[in-house]
């Protein structure tokens, strides 16, 4: 009980303006250290500067130690949006130098400062900035609140909201579907490659509902999460599914990528269904394998094991497995 009260107190302070100040100090210090060491700001390298989806474009922006922000640009109008602006100065410089366009829209997946701390400064740099977040999320500087399944317009690009109240009460994913390219979804800290975010403010039922929404998206949907956490998430996936060939193939690929500091995102919904334990809670074979009887029990057991067995799976070695065709 004392530990829970302590967590609530610290968590409350983190989500206050004190937390934003602390986060911005940390970002500034990290930038200064990396500049002095003649290192880039990004924690990982990308394959392409911009991913072209015909009617819109996406630019992956690695920030901080593990965070990802994303630029979305509507092709027909040039309007520019950003998902989860945790670092306003760096994102402003990218918008000005790379896109040569002002940021007009912010899409906030959740309130945590590593995703939202830049909104205040961006609002001053770009007057009239439209900031979208869930109506259930008590975030600062939000100008437009949205409910589940609403449409946000970025020029001619239509962005659909998907409420996923697990990591925080107002966590939301942003889904874009195109007639001429793969659909994409930005999941924040609700879903990662191979895993799921901490259940800070949600419960097992809300987690199941959120999983159901994501796995119902088209299989080819590209998933862009809020962090580069594949090293950790795939250790847990491997711990639960040591004989799963899809897990081994993905682990081998990740090991090769991270050895070169390359990003491991995006994945696809189809891929996630094959190795992400949280995406497999409706698979009868997986449910039986972990000793559960139905999907609610399965996700509860996965979550319990993720917490209780942490020391065991974090010590697993990720390696390159022999290829089996």
For the residues 53-78, what does the mean pLDDT come to?
A: 97
Q: Is residue 282 predicted with pLDDT exceeding 70?
A: yes
Residue 292 lies in a domain: yes
| Residue 325 belongs to some domain of the structure | no
Give the rounded percent of residues in the chain with a pLDDT score beyond 90: 87
Is 186 inside a domain boundary? yes
Q: Is the model's pLDDT at 2 over the cut of 70? A: no
Q: What is the mean pLDDT of residues 240-268?
A: 97
Phi then psi dihedrals of residue 34, to 5 deg: -70, -35
- In 3D space, the residue among 196, 187, 285, 297 whose CA is nearest the CA of residue 237 turns out to be 196
Write down the pLDDT at residue 32.
82
Q: Which helix (H) or strand (E) holds 64?
A: none
**What percent of the chain clears pLDDT 70, i.e. is strictly above it?**
98
Neighbours of 319 (CB within 10 A): 10
92 and 98 Cβ atoms separated by less than 8 Å: no
Q: Tell me how many domains the chain contains.
A: 1
Identify whether the C-beta of residue 214 lies closer than 8 Å to the C-beta of residue 187: yes
- If you average pLDDT over residues 17-30, what whole number do you get? 89
In a domain, 319, yes or no: no
What average pLDDT does this structure show over 198-203? 95
Q: How confident is the model at residue 84 (pLDDT cuts 50, 70, 90)?
A: very high
- 323 found inside a domain: no
For residue 234, the tally of other CB atoms under 10 A from its CB is: 27
pLDDT of residue 28: 86
Quick check: 231 pLDDT over 80?
Answer: yes
**Does 82 fall in a domain?**
yes
What is the rounded average pLDDT of the residues 247-255?
97
Integer Rg of the chain from CA: 19
Q: What does the block give as tokens for 233?
A: 């998430």
Q: pLDDT tens digits, residue range 95-113?
A: 999 999 999 999 999 999 9
CA dihedral 226, 256, 289, 239 (to 10 degrees): -80
Q: What is the pLDDT of residues 158-167, one digit of tens each?
A: 999 999 999 9
Active site residues: 110, 112, 114-115, 167, 189, 227
Has residue 1 got a pLDDT over 70?
Answer: no
**Average pLDDT value for residue range 140-145:** 96
Is 209 a member of any domain?
yes
Any domain includes 274: yes
Model confidence band, residue 33 (pLDDT cutoffs 50, 70, 90): confident
Residues near 102 by beta carbon (within 8 Å), at least 6 away in sequence = 80, 95, 126
Domain with residue 251: its CATH number is 3.60.15.10
Q: At what angle do helices 295-308 and 230-240 cross, to 10 degrees?
A: 120
Neighbours of 236 (CB within 10 A): 24
Is residue 29 over pLDDT 70?
yes
Lowest average pLDDT, out of 29-38, 55-64, 129-138, 181-190, goes to 29-38
Closest by Cα among 163, 158, 113, 167 to 133: 163
Return the pLDDT at 325. Answer: 59
Beta strands in 3-53 (DSSP E): 51-52
Residue-range definition of the domain harbouring residue 150: 2-313
């Amino acid at each position: 009980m004392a530990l829970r009260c302590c967590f609530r107190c610290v968590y409350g302070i983190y989500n206050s303006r004190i937390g934003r100040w602390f986060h911005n100090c940390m970002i500034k210090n990290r930038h200064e250290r990396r500049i002095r060491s003649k290192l880039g700001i990004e924690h990982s390298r990308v394959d392409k500067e911009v991913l072209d989806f015909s009617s819109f474009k996406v630019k992956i922006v690695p920030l901080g130690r593990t965070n990802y922000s994303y630029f979305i640009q509507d092709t027909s109008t040039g309007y520019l949006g950003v998902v989860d602006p945790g670092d306003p100065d760096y994102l402003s410089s990218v918008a000005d130098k790379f896109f040569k366009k002002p940021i007009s829209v912010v899409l906030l997946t959740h309130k945590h400062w590593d995703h939202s701390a830049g909104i205040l400064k961006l609002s001053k740099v770009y007057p009239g900035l439209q900031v979208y977040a869930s109506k259930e999320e008590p975030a600062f500087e939000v100008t437009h609140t949205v409910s589940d399944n609403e449409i946000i317009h970025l020029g001619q690009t239509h962005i659909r909201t998907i409420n996923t109240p697990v990591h925080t009460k107002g966590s939301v994913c942003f889904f874009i579907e195109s007639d001429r390219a793969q659909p994409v979804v930005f999941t924040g800290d609700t879903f990662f490659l191979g895993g799921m975010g901490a259940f800070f403010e949600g419960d097992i039922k809300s987690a199941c509902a959120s999983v159901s929404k994501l796995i119902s998206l088209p299989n080819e949907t590209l998933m862009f999460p809020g962090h580069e956490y594949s090293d950790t998430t795939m250790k847990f996936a491997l711990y639960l599914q040591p004989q799963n060939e899809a897990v081994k193939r993905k682990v081998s690929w990740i090991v090769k990528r991270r050895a070169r500091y390359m990003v491991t995102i995006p994945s696809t919904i189809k891929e996630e269904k094959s190795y992400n334990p949280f995406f497999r809670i409706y698979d009868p074979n997986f449910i039986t394998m972990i000793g559960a009887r139905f999907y609610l029990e399965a996700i509860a057991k996965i979550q319990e094991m993720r917490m209780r067995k942490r020391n065991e799976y974090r010590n697993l070695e990720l390696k390159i497995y022999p290829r089996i065709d």
